[in-house]
C-alpha cells in the first residue's frame, strides 16, 4: 500500500550498498586483526599525561619510542589511571588504554622516519598535550 | 489564548499555565534561549582553535574542557529535547484531537525541571565531556562541578521520562476514537516513537548516573577499576541509552519535515504507511547498535560484527524517510518559503550525514576516525544540519500563528544561505580534520602541523558564518514578532487550502472548523 | 502520478542501477590496486595502513556515487517543481481540495 516499484528499488539499492559495506568491512577487519606470530611485544602504558614503553628485552622509554623497520610489533596497551587512547595516526595504529584491561594493536613499519604519537580519548587537563613520537630506524643488525 | 503581542497577556499567566500550548511556548522559548547560550560557547571554541599555540580567548585547558562539556550538554538536553517537546506540546494534542495533554500538571512539572537542571549544569560548569566516561568522571573530575553535572542530568533525565509518559498516553489513550492510529499525522507519530524509546532507554542512564555518584562518594566501585569495578560497564550503560537517544533527537525533526513538506508542495504525502513503518523500525533497530561507539575499547571481533550489522540494519529506515520526502516533492508545485527551504536543506544534509554514519559503522575505519574530529563532523551534520534545520523550519512555520505577525522572507533567506553555507563549511571540514588525525576535545595543537592549522581556520570561518546567520535569526525573531506585518492567519503563505494544524493551535478552544 | 513522471521514475531507476553496477566495478579496481601494491612490497607482513585506507577509499566511492544520485535528484526536483517554473503554472490536481495535503495517493490512485 502506497509503495510503488520505485520505493522497493530504492530500498533494495540501499540494502545492496549496505551489504557491500558490511562484507568488505568484515573481510578487512578479519585481515587486520590477524597479528603476525613473530611480532615483538611492546608494552605501552598511558597515564595522565604521557606514554611510556617497555620493549621485550626490558628497556624502557618515555614519550619517544624507537622501533626497527621491517619488524612486526604488537602493542600491549595499559592505563594507569583514566581511559586514554593510544594512536599513531600515520600508521593507523589505534586502540583504547582502559584501566583494568589489556588491549592490543599491531603494525609493521616499512619506512624510516619520525611520526607523532598522541592520545585520542579525552583524559583531562593536558589531554591535548599527551604527545610523543615514534622513531622508525633502519635495522642494522 | 495565545502568546500574541497584539493582545498581550501578563507573562506570569503563561508561566503558571498548564495549558498545552502555553507549556509548548515555554519549552520552545527556553530551548531557543539555551541554543543561543550554547552557540556563544561554540563561537568561543572555534575562535580559540583558529590560533594554535596562542591561547586566544581561553588561556587554559581547564576552562576549555569545561566549555566544550557545557556546550555539548546544553545543545543536546537543553536545546534539542526542549524544542522537540515544545512543538510536540503545541501540536500533538491537536493532531490527536484532544483538548490538552493527558496530564497537564505533570506536563508543567516536566517543563519546570528543565530550568533547574540547566542551572545546575551551567553553575557547575563541569569538565567531564558530555559522555563523562568513567573512570575520569569518578576518580579525577573535580567536584562540586561533576556532582552538579550528575544532579543536573538526573533532573533532565527524569523530566524527559515524565514528558514521554505524557506523550505516550496522550497519543494512545486520548486520541479521538474516530481517528485510527494509522491516520495520526506523522509528527505525532514521531513524538510517540521517541517517547516510547525514551521510556526504554533513559532509565539505564539514570541508573548509571546514580552508580557514578556513589562511586564518586567512595561508597561503591561499579565503574572504578581501582575498587574492583569496570569502566567498560559504564560505556555500555551510557551508549545503550545514548545511541537510541540520537534517534530521539532526530525523529521529531523528521516529523516536522513531514508536516512542512506536503504543505508547501500542496500535495498529499507520498506514503503515510511507509513513514510510520520507518519510524517504528528505527525505534526498534536503534537499540541494536550502541556498541559501534566502543569498537576500540578492546571489543572482540564477533561482538564488533554484531554491532556493525545492527547499525547498518537501521539505515534503510532513514533512507525511506528521504525517499518519502523526495517522492512527495515529485510532481508538486512547491512554494519555497522559509520553512520549505530549511526543510529541504535539512534533507540534503541528513543524507550526507547518514552516508558518513555508514562509514563510521565499518569497523576497520574506526582506526582512522574514532575519537577524531571526523566524529565531531558526523554528529554535528546531524545535530545542526538535520535537527537544527528541521527545528528552524518549524519555528518559521509556527511564527505567524504564535505572534500573529509575519517574519521577513528576505531576512529568512539570508539566514538560510548563511546557515547552509556555514554548516557545510564547518562540518565537512571537520571530517577532513579527522582524516588528518586531529583528536577531538583538544585545547591546543602544535602550530607546525600546517594542515591542521589550515583546516581549523577554514572551519572557524564557517562557524563565524553560521553564527552570524543565527544572529540574523535572533534579531528577526525579536524584531518581527513586534513589528512584522500582521499575518493572514488562515493562510500565511498563500498556499491555498483551508486546514492547518497550527490554526487550531492558535484557537485551542475550538473556533476552527477544520475537523 | 502523471505518466510523464512515471517515465521519469523509470529513468531514475535505470540510472541508479547503472550507477550501482559501475560502483561494483570501480571497487574491484581498487581491490586490484591494493593487490598490486601488496606485490611490489617485498615485506612478508600485511600492510595494515594500506588495507584500511583502501577500504576507506572504496567506501567513499560508494558514498559519493549514491550521494551524486540523491543530491542530483534533489537539485533537479527543486528546480523542476518550484512554483516559479513556467511548466508549473497550472495548479496541481490536489489544489482544488479543501486541503491539498489531506488526501492520499493510496485512496485516489496514482
Ligand atoms: C544513518 C544513521 C547513522 C549511523 C549509521 C551512525 C553511525 C555512527 C557511528 C558508527 C558512530 C561512532 C563513531 C565513532 O565514534 O567512531 C556514531 C557517532 C555518533 N553519532 Fe551517529 N549514526 C547515525 C545517525 C546519527 C544521528 C541521527 C545522530 C544524531 C542525531 C547521530 C549522532 C551521533 C553522535 C552524537 C555520535 C558521537 C558520539 C560521541 O562519541 O560523542 N548519529 N554514529
Ligand atoms: Cu587523552
Ligand atoms: Cu550511535
- Tens place of pLDDT for every residue, chain B, 515 residues? 344 444 567 888 888 888 898 999 999 999 999 999 999 999 999 999 999 988 889 989 999 999 999 999 999 999 999 999 999 999 999 899 888 899 999 999 999 999 999 999 999 999 999 999 989 999 999 989 999 999 999 999 999 999 999 999 999 999 988 889 988 999 999 999 999 999 999 999 999 999 999 999 999 999 999 999 999 999 999 999 999 999 999 999 999 999 999 999 998 899 899 999 999 999 999 999 999 999 999 999 999 999 999 999 999 999 999 999 999 999 889 999 999 999 999 999 999 999 988 999 999 999 999 999 999 999 999 999 999 999 999 999 999 988 889 999 999 999 999 999 999 999 999 999 999 999 999 999 999 999 999 999 999 999 999 999 999 999 999 999 989 999 888 888 988 776 667 666 665 544 433 33
Share of chain C above pLDDT 70, in %: 60
∠ CA B288-C65-B376, rounded to 5°: 50
- The closest alpha carbon to B23, from B193, B194, B163, B157, belongs to B163
Q: CA-CA distance, B325 to B248, in Å (whole number)?
A: 20
Look at residue C33 in the predicted model and tell me its pLDDT.
Answer: 56
Same domain, A62 and A5: no
Q: Dihedral angle at the C-alpha atoms of B378, B383, B389, B393, nearest 10 degrees?
A: 160
B397 contacts B412 by C-beta, under 8 angstroms? no
A129 contacts A116 by C-beta, under 8 angstroms? no
Pairing of strands A50-54, A60-62: antiparallel
Same domain, A45 and A76: yes
- Measured by CA distance, the residue closest to atom 28 of ligand 1 is B246
Q: CA-CA distance, B83 to A129, in Å (whole number)?
A: 38
Cross-chain residue pair C81–B331, CB shorter than 8 Å:
yes
- Measured by CA distance, the residue closest to atom 26 of ligand 1 is B246
Chain A contact set for C45 (CB, 8 A): 36, 72, 108, 110
Q: CA-CA distance, B496 to B515, in Å (whole number)?
A: 17
Number of other residues whose CB lies within 10 A of the CB of residue C22: 12
Look at residue B512 in the predicted model and tell me its pLDDT.
Answer: 39
Out of A81, A85, A101, name the one closest to residue B232 (CB): A101
Cross-chain residue pair B323–A10, CB shorter than 8 Å:
yes
Q: CA-CA distance, B434 to B359, in Å (whole number)?
A: 13
Cross-chain residue pair B316–A83, CB shorter than 8 Å:
no
Assign C32 a pLDDT band (cuts: 50, 70, 90).
low
Look at residue A130 in the predicted model and tell me its pLDDT.
Answer: 94
- Measured by CA distance, the residue closest to atom 36 of ligand 1 is B379
In chain A, the number of structural domains is 2
Give a yes or no: residue B417 inside a domain. yes
Same domain, A111 and A58: yes
DSSP alpha helices (H): ranges in B266-292?
272-285
Same domain, A66 and A102: yes
Out of B267, B351, B356, name the one closest to residue C92 (CB): B267
What is the separation of C-alpha A121 from the centre of its chain, rounded to a whole number of angstroms?
12
- Which chain A residue has its CA at the smallest distance from B365's CA? A25
Look at residue B54 in the predicted model and tell me its pLDDT.
Answer: 87
- Which chain C residue has its CA at the smallest distance from B272's CA? C104
Q: The cell 505516550 sits on which residue?
A: B168
Same domain, A89 and A129: yes
Counting ligands in written order, the one closest to the CA of B375 is: 1
The CATH number of the domain where B323 resides is what? 1.20.210.10
Which of C21, C48, C63, C73 should one mutate to test binding to chain A, selecting the residue with the greatest count of A CBs within 10 A? C48
Q: The cell 525573531 sits on which residue?
A: B477
Distance from CA of B64 to the nearest CA of C (A): 32
Chain A contact set for B304 (CB, 8 A): 29
Look at residue A3 in the predicted model and tell me its pLDDT.
Answer: 55
* B9: exposed, middle or buried (Cβ count in 10 Å: 0-12, 13-18, 19+): middle
Assign C109 a pLDDT band (cuts: 50, 70, 90).
very low
- Which chain C residue has its CA at the smallest distance from A93's CA? C49
- Measured by CA distance, the residue closest to atom 33 of ligand 1 is B379
**For a pocket test of ligand 1, which of B293, B390, B431 has the largest count of ligand atoms closer than 8 A to its C-beta?**
B293
Out of C53, C74, C101, name the one closest to residue B263 (CB): C101
Report which DSSP code applies to B138.
I
Look at residue B495 in the predicted model and tell me its pLDDT.
Answer: 86
Out of A1, A14, A32, name the one closest to residue C46 (CB): A32
Taking the CA of residue B247 as reference, the ligand 1 atom at the shortest distance is 27
Between residues B14 and C34, the one the model is more confident about: B14
In chain B, the number of structural domains is 1
Same domain, A125 and A85: yes
- Measured by CA distance, the residue closest to atom 14 of ligand 1 is B370
Which strands, in side-by-side order, build the sheet including A113-119?
A64-68, A132-137, A113-119, A84-88, A93-97
- Grid coordinates representing C87? 511548466
Residue B397 contacts by C-beta under 8 Å, 6 or more apart in sequence?
A: B256, B259, B260, B339, B502
Beta bridge partners of A65: A134
Counting ligands in written order, the one closest to the CA of B239 is: 3
Cross-chain residue pair B496–C95, CB shorter than 8 Å:
yes
Look at residue B10 in the predicted model and tell me its pLDDT.
Answer: 80
Same domain, A22 and A51: no
Pocket of ligand 1 (CB under 6 A): B 131, 246-247, 249-250, 292-293, 311, 315, 318, 354, 357-358, 360-361, 366, 369-370, 375, 378-379, 382-383, 387
pLDDT digit string (tens) for A59-94?
A: 999 999 999 999 999 999 999 999 999 999 999 999
Distance from CA of A60 to the nearest CA of C (A): 26
B168 contacts B199 by C-beta, under 8 angstroms? yes
Same domain, A60 and A95: yes
Between residues C1 and A32, the one the model is more confident about: A32
Q: Is the pLDDT of residue C18 over 80?
A: no
Counting ligands in written order, the one closest to the CA of B361 is: 1
Cross-chain residue pair B334–C95, CB shorter than 8 Å:
no
A99: containing domain? 40-137
Look at residue B359 in the predicted model and tell me its pLDDT.
Answer: 92
Distance from CA of A125 to the nearest CA of C (A): 31
Number of other residues whose CB lies within 10 A of the CB of residue B265: 28
Beta bridge partners of A132: A117
B393: containing domain? 18-505
- Grid coordinates representing C67? 550521494
- Grid coordinates representing A47? 597515564
Pairing of strands A113-119, A84-88: antiparallel
Taking the CA of residue B383 as reference, the ligand 1 atom at the shortest distance is 30
ipTM summary value:
0.94
Q: CA-CA distance, B422 to B389, in Å (whole number)?
A: 12
Same domain, A92 and A28: no
Look at residue B217 in the predicted model and tell me its pLDDT.
Answer: 94
Beta bridge partners of A79: A46
**For a pocket test of ligand 1, which of B129, B249, B254, B292 has the largest count of ligand atoms closer than 8 A to its C-beta?**
B292
Look at residue C6 in the predicted model and tell me its pLDDT.
Answer: 63
Cross-chain residue pair A2–C106, CB shorter than 8 Å:
yes
B435 contacts B377 by C-beta, under 8 angstroms? no
Pairing of strands A40-47, A73-79: parallel
Cross-chain residue pair C49–A6, CB shorter than 8 Å:
no
Which of B227, B357, B359, B371 should one mutate to test binding to chain A, selecting the residue with the greatest count of A CBs within 10 A? B371
Distance from residue B314's CA to the centre of ligand 1 (Å): 12
Same domain, A23 and A60: no
Same domain, A62 and A120: yes
∠ CA B48-A81-A36, rounded to 5°: 95
pLDDT, chain C, mean: 75
Amino acid at each position: 500500500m502506497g509503495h510503488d516499484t520505485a520505493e522497493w528499488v530504492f530500498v533494495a539499492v540501499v540494502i545492496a550498498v549496505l551489504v557491500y559495506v558490511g562484507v568488505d568491512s568484515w573481510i578487512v577487519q578479519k585481515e587486520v586483526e590477524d597479528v603476525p606470530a613473530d611480532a615483538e611485544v611492546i608494552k605501552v602504558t598511558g597515564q595522565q599525561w604521557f606514554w611510556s614503553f617497555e620493549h621485550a628485552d626490558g628497556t624502557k622509554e618515555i614519550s619517544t619510542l624507537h622501533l626497527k623497520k621491517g619488524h612486526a610489533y604488537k602493542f600491549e596497551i595499559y592505563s594507569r589511571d583514566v581511559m586514554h587512547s593510544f594512536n599513531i595516526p600515520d600508521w593507523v595504529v589505534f586502540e583504547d588504554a582502559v584501566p583494568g584491561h589489556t588491549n592490543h594493536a599491531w603494525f609493521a613499519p616499512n619506512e624510516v622516519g619520525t611520526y607523532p604519537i598522541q592520545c585520542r580519548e579525552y583524559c583531562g587537563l593536558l589531554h591535548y598535550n599527551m604527545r610523543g613520537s615514534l622513531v622508525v630506524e633502519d635495522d642494522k643488525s | 489564548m495565545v502568546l500574541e503581542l497584539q493582545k498581550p497577556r501578563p507573562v506570569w499567566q503563561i508561566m503558571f499555565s498548564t495549558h498545552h500550548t502555553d507549556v509548548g511556548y515555554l519549552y520552545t522559548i527556553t530551548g531557543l534561549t539555551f541554543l543561543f547560550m550554547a552557540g556563544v560557547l561554540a563561537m568561543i571554541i572555534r575562535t580559540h582553535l583558529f590560533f594554535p599555540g596562542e591561547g586566544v580567548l581561553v588561556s587554559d585547558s581547564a576552562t576549555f574542557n569545561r566549555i566544550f562539556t557545557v556546550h555539548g550538554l546544553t545543545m543536546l538536553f537543553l536545546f534539542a529535547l526542549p524544542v522537540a517537546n515544545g512543538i510536540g506540546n503545541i501540536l500533538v494534542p491537536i493532531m490527536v484531537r484532544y483538548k490538552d495533554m493527558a496530564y497537564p500538571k505533570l506536563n508543567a512539572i516536566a517543563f519546570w525541571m528543565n530550568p533547574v537542571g540547566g542551572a545546575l549544569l551551567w553553575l557547575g560548569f563541569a569538565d567531564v565531556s558530555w559522555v563523562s566516561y568513567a573512570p575520569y568522571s569518578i576518580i579525577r573530575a573535580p567536584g562540586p562541578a561533576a556532582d552538579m553535572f550528575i544532579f543536573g542530568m538526573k533532573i533532565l533525565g527524569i523530566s524527559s521520562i515524565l514528558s514521554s509518559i505524557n506523550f505516550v498516553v496522550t497519543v494512545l489513550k486520548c486520541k479521538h476514537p474516530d481517528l485510527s492510529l494509522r491516520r495520526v499525522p506523522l509528527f505525532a507519530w514521531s513524538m510517540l516513537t521517541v517517547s516510547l524509546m525514551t521510556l526504554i532507554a533513559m532509565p539505564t542512564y539514570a541508573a548509571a548516573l546514580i552508580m557514578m555518584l556513589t562511586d564518586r562518594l567512595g561508597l561503591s566501585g561499579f565503574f572504578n577499576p581501582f575498587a574492583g569495578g569496570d569502566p567498560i560497564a559504564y560505556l555500555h550503560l551510557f551508549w545503550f541509552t545514548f545511541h537510541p537517544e540520537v534517534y530521539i533527537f532526530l525523529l521529531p525533526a523528521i516529523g516536522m519535515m513531514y508536516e512542512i513538506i506536503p504543505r508547501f508542495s500542496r500535495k498529499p504525502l507520498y506514503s503515510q504507511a511507509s513513514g510510520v513503518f520507518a519510524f517504528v523500525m528505527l525505534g526498534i533497530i536503534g537499540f541494536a547498535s550502541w556498541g559501534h561507539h566502543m569498537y576500540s575499547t578492546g571489543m572482540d571481533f564477533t561482538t564488533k560484527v554484531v554491532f556493525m550489522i545492527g547499525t547498518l540494519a537501521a539505515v534503510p529506515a532513514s533512507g525511506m524517510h528521504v525517499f518519502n520526502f523526495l517522492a512527495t516533492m515529485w510532481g508538486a508545485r512547491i512554494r519555497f518559503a522559509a520553512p520549505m527551504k530549511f526543510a529541504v536543506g535539512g534533507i540534503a544534509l541528513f543524507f550526507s550525514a547518514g552516508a558518513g554514519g555508514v562509514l563510521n559503522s565499518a569497523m576497520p575505519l574506526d582506526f582512522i576516525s574514532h575519537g577524531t574530529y571526523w566524529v565531531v563532523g558526523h554528529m554535528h551534520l546531524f545535530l545542526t544540519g538535520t535537527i537544527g534545520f528541521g527545528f528552524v523550519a518549524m519555528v518559521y512555520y509556527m511564527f505567524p500563528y504564535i505572534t500573529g505577525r509575519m517574519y521577513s522572507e528576505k531576512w529568512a533567506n539570508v539566514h538560510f544561505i548563511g546557515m547552509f553555507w556555514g554548516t557545510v563549511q564547518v562540518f565537512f571540514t571537520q571530517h577532513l580534520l579527522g582524516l588528518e588525525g586531529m583528536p577531538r576535545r583538544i585545547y591546543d595543537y602544535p602550530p607546525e602541523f600546517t594542515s591542521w592549522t589550515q583546516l581549523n581556520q577554514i572551519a572557524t570561518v564557517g562557524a563565524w558564518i553560521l553564527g552570524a546567520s543565527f544572529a540574523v535569526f535572533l534579531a528577526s525573531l525579536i524584531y518581527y514578532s513586534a513589528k512584522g506585518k500582521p499575518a493572514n492567519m488562515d493562510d500565511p503563505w498563500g498556499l491555498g487550502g483551508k486546514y492547518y494544524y497550527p490554526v487550531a493551535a492558535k484557537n485551542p478552544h475550538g473556533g476552527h472548523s477544520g475537523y | 502520478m502523471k505518466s510523464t513522471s512515471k517515465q521519469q521514475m523509470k529513468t531514475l531507476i535505470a540510472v541508479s542501477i547503472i550507477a550501482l553496477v559501475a560502483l561494483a566495478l570501480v571497487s574491484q579496481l581498487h581491490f586490484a590496486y591494493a593487490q598490486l601494491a601488496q606485490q611490489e612490497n617485498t615485506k612478508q607482513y600485511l600492510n595494515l595502513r594500506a588495507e584500511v585506507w583502501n577500504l576507506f577509499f572504496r567506501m567513499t566511492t560508494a558514498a559519493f556515487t549514491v550521494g551524486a544520485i540523491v543530491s542530483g535528484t534533489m537539485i533537479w526536483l527543486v528546480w523542476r517543481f518550484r512554483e516559479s517554473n513556467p511548466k508549473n503554472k497550472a495548479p496541481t490536481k490536489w489544489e482544488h481540495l479543501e486541503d491539498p495535503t489531506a488526501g492520499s495517493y493510496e485512496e485516489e490512485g496514482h
